[in-house]
Amino acid sequence: MLALRLTPGTRSLSLGYSFSKCGEFAFEAAFAVAIVSITDADMLLIGIAYFFRYLPSVVFSPLGGWLADNANKKHTLLAIEVTKGLLALSFFALFSVFTPVLLALVGIAMVMTALECLYVPTFRAYFPDLVEKDELATVNSGIQVIEDAASILGPLVFSACVLLLSREATFLFFAMCLVVSAICIATLTPARRSVQQAFDGCAIIRDAAGSVSQLRAGNAPLFAVIGCTTLCAMFATSVIRFILPASVLEHFASEAAVGYVFSLLAAGTVVGGMLYTRFNPRTTAAMVLRYWMLYGGLFFAAAVALQFNNWLFLLILFLVGFIGAFVDIAIVTNIQCLSREHEVGRNFSLYYFTAVMGDAVSGLIASLVFVLAGPATFIWMTLMLFIAPVRWNMKGRGPDVDSRT
């Protein structure tokens, strides 16, 4: 956390990010419950809705990489936060004034996904301009703690809104958080800019498509990190986004319980983020592969425990969050340290592109599993999440994925 105080830039970025993520996690809890309610917990329909929600990443993730490497980072972040604030107000109006329709809900969420695809590469590419390379792991750990603390507060705010006000009040809270984030970003000094490349939409898409094969041939450790994460996202996203909320809602029969469970999961990630550098003095690509398998195994154990003992379920879910923090920090640190200076933004956009495509496919996979497994969807999806990284771990025992960062 001390690394985030190194410069005024890191302080402003981290403060704005804390407000933005707090509102975002409250929004995600409200959005998940809204989708489950509107579809009457139909997993098939929910999976299709989430597939379309993440579809814009096909176009906007490569564009986000170009913006991170070529545009003014401060202006990009400011414009995105303001636009997201307007969308949050649209969600508030949709639920307060009109009768929410699934198509409208998914349509606005697709725009939110597009903006997030532009935001993430620029935000992550800002820090290498502000701190030394050997400080990036500590900075990423601090950012992870901030994100995880926000992921505790956000669902708790959602629960408070449900109990004291209304579900739609959460969207208004999100809008206010984005206003504060925009103010923090406005105080930033512009980051240094590398040699600019002319914007060519078709070339950006072609470059994004070709960079996967280039990465596989020229940067095997980073390819392993991104490839394994993409595969795991095909199962993890639907589990976290709607299968876990739907299972908790059905089991505990309370919308507020969804917020409490997400806050417990986030509490584990906060502890994991704080202890990351103590457990992992060095970050390697192979660590990402191992932690993904452990993450899936714990999530599967939590799904089984939910059927028998509530307290055991909650304990294991805390551990899921703890290991999840290790996964997130190791991924980001590997991308920053294994990328060449002029490719940081591009590689983050590639990571976000492939991961979000995994998110989109995750919805379709969950729908198919629901058709086959019915009420056991939670157990089967977490089992596949556990199995998914096994092959990467078997391949990853060689030195090509053990580059120290």
pTM for the structure as a whole: 0.69
Which of the given ranges, 52-56, 181-185, 275-279, has the highest pLDDT on average? 181-185
d(CA 332, CA 315): 27
Query: pLDDT digit string (tens) for 159-202?
Result: 888 888 877 888 999 999 999 999 988 887 765 555 555 555 56
User: Phi/psi of residue 284, each to 5°?
Assistant: -125, 160
Vertex 329 angle, CA 294 and 217, to 5°: 85
**Average of per-residue pLDDT across 248-253:** 78
| Per-residue model confidence (pLDDT) at position 341 | 61
Hey, how many other C-beta atoms are within 10 angstroms of the C-beta on 399? 10
Query: pLDDT digit string (tens) for 127-141?
Result: 777 776 667 667 777
Residue spans of the domains in the chain: they are 7-188+199-397
Q: In the CATH scheme, what is the homologous superfamily, with its name and number, of domain 7-188+199-397? A: MFS general substrate transporter like domains (1.20.1250.20)
**Average of per-residue pLDDT across 217-242:** 80
Question: Who's near 356: CB < 8 A, 6+ residues apart?
Answer: 54, 57, 61, 113, 117, 233
Lowest mean pLDDT among 103-112, 206-215, 295-304, 385-394: 206-215
Burial string for 285-312 (b: 16+ CB within 10 Å, else e) reads bbbbbbbbbbbbbbbbbbbbbbeeeeee
**57, two tokens:** 């990443």
